[in-house]
Structure 1
Amino acid sequence: MTSTALPQPKKAQDRSIDPAPLTFPDAAPSRAGLGGGSRSVPALLVDRVTKRFHVARKKRPVVAIADVSLRLERGGTIGILGANGSGKSTLIRLVSGLLTLDEGRVEVFGHDIEREEMAVKRLINRVSVDAAFFKKLSPMENLLFAARLYGIDTRTARRNTVLITERLGIAEKRLGRPVEQLSRGMQQKIAIARALLTSPALLLLDEPTTGLDPRSKLDVQTFIEEMRRSHDASIVLTTHDLDEAERLCDDIAVLNDGRVVAHGSPEVLKRLVADRHGEPPTMHAVFMTYTGRSLDEDVEDEAEDDE
């Protein structure tokens, strides 16, 4: 698959993101082993992967991921779209090593995730909607702890934490408050900052903007684009936001019942749908065509659950 996307210092009313490149002069040494430095080695290779779960009262295991194959080139972004239960979060957990493969193989910059686990862990970081923190500690303390795990010295980590969080629209005064006192949306932005602090070569974003207000969502999306430009980051993104997927992703894979039912660039997928059905060339039409449902149904269900 081929791959082709921060603020002036903040004034009181201006929370936009500075377009100046974001650079970490003393970033974590997490990029050693990028396939020998060859750009021909993909950032991520998912080859015929299958994952089953054994469920009580069911005679046969449930297939969560079925014979999925994907390829992400270095510096690219692939979006994984799917309704709730389609397998997209399971796929992220498989790539990150949180779940074991039943069939197939996964490589990160040429490293097998099962045989070269430690090499892979140095290259990736994951953000999910259920990010865990030491809730009694402050965001700064949480990020400094994470930095130590990746071998980043405290002085560098503190400087980069302030830089990243400012670019994400987080006021510095919030960095000293206990995480448990922050809103869900603010905690999600802190989780993103923690992942970016380690300057990962492969960033796994599992619905990173869920729960964010529109302004915060824009901050995060713009920051993700900047990460690609300034850090040559490769990104896997799952999202319910079709506009977000179209903005950020070079390629999109649509999952339905654990299988890839459509795969290509946003432009190609929209053109296929328009040519085949005469539908308006939107990602919403693409998703409806290949899955038979709208992602709006999932958003409505989640809103009801939160009430």
Structure 2
Amino acid sequence: MTTTLAQHAEAEAARSSAPVTAIAVRDLRMSFAKRGGGSALRPRVTRVAAVDGISFAVKKGEIYGILGPNGSGKSTLIRAISTLLIPDSGEVKIFGLDLQKDEAQVRRLLNRVSVDAAFYKKLSPRENLLYSAGLYGIPRAEAEAKSLEILRRLGLREKAFYEPLEEMSRGMQQKVAIARAFLASPVIVLLDEPTTGLDPKSRRDVQEFVLELRDAHDATIILTTHDMPEAERLCDRIAFIHGGRFVAEGSADELRARVGGNATLEDAFIQLTGDDLHSDDQEDT
């Protein structure tokens, strides 16, 4: 199903000489109830917009970055695209499939890595990955060989493949989460702050692996981050998100050019959003 849909979209684009649109988001809106004020018996409840009318498109084989501080709405957006949250309104299409009408088919096309990846911590990376592979119908021997290959590529010692996850550092656990996401060779990968909290070597290992997968397997990737060098290194295009809205979009060079002079990407973000990228006074949404 995955290969057929992707190939069909590519063939249609080739006939029309147009790039393949892998992800299309139109006027997406999501809000949450927030309590504040009033009394204990009759608290005041207001609606807070987490995603406020976002529209964008990602081409097949592109790495698209969403850059913003905690609380800007980037994680909520990723959860909506991955079918974990139901939008209040708007439309998301994956290779032409409607996110809500064709949810089962859409889920076969994508995988997600988040900063809070969940595992069976008493089990080893091998056991966790073989369990996940079974859910996708991947033969056991193939899954074990592929899992070990990916983890080696990410710099994980082979001995650690058989040790309980609870005994590993967060960086090691995140590498296992990335291996799990790519085990089934998804057409689309949603990376939600995948390198947050990793040491510099682990961060570089993950970044190189992401680039390799895009180049070797033509995967389409959305990356959320607040790491400027990471966004510049990995992303073909970047969107600045602030207050649940996209305020600017383009390549790193184009975004810097909008500010002028010798502006850095961080300079561009601050001037275009009026906010500090590293603001951490809110929980991420």
TM-score by length of 1: 0.84
Counterpart selection for 2:127 from 138, 141, 146:
141
CA deviation string 1:36-78 (max 9, x = no partner): 2324441100101000111234443111001100100000011
| Aligned counterpart, 1:283 | 265
1:1-307 counterparts in 2 under 5 A? 30-34=2-6, 36-38=8-10, 39=13, 40-57=19-36, 58-274=44-260, 278=261, 280-298=262-280
Distance (Å, rounded) in 2 between the aligned partners of 1:91 and 1:237: 11
Q: Percent identity?
A: 50
1:99 counterpart SS class: coil
Distance (Å, rounded) in 2 between the aligned partners of 1:241 and 1:31: 33
Distance (Å, rounded) in 1 between the aligned partners of 2:116 and 2:106: 22
Structure 2 letter corresponding to 1:293: D
CA positional deviation for 1:265: 1.1
Structure 2 letter corresponding to 1:168: L
Structure 2 letter corresponding to 1:189: K
CA deviation string 1:217-265 (max 9, x = no partner): 1111000000011100000000111110011001111111001111111
Unaligned runs of 5+ in 2: 14-18, 37-43
CA deviation string 1:4-56 (max 9, x = no partner): xxxxxxxxxxxxxxxxxxxxxxxxx7434227232444110010100011123
CA positional deviation for 1:281: 2.7
Distance (Å, rounded) in 1 between the aligned partners of 2:4 and 2:120: 29
CA positional deviation for 1:140: 0.6
Task: Provide the alpha-carbon RMSD of the alignment.
Answer: 1.5
2:24 counterpart SS class: strand
Structure 1 letter corresponding to 2:235: C
Distance (Å, rounded) in 1 between the aligned partners of 2:84 and 2:129: 21
User: Displaced runs of 4+ in structure 1, greater than 6 A?
Assistant: none
CA positional deviation for 1:294: 2.5
CA deviation string 1:186-232 (max 9, x = no partner): 11111011101111111000000011110111111000000011100
Distance (Å, rounded) in 1 between the aligned partners of 2:191 and 2:264: 23
Contact 2:171 2:198 in 1 (8 A): yes
CA positional deviation for 1:269: 0.5
Unaligned runs of 5+ in 1: 1-28, 303-307
Distance (Å, rounded) in 2 between the aligned partners of 1:41 and 1:248: 20
**How many positions carry a matched residue from both structures?**
268
Contact 2:256 2:268 in 1 (8 A): yes
Distance (Å, rounded) in 2 between the aligned partners of 1:157 and 1:45: 32
Report the structure, 1 or 2, having the larger strand content.
2
Contact 1:35 1:41 in 2 (8 A): no
Contact 2:130 2:143 in 1 (8 A): yes
2:35 counterpart SS class: coil
TM-score by length of 2: 0.90
Contact 1:127 1:192 in 2 (8 A): yes
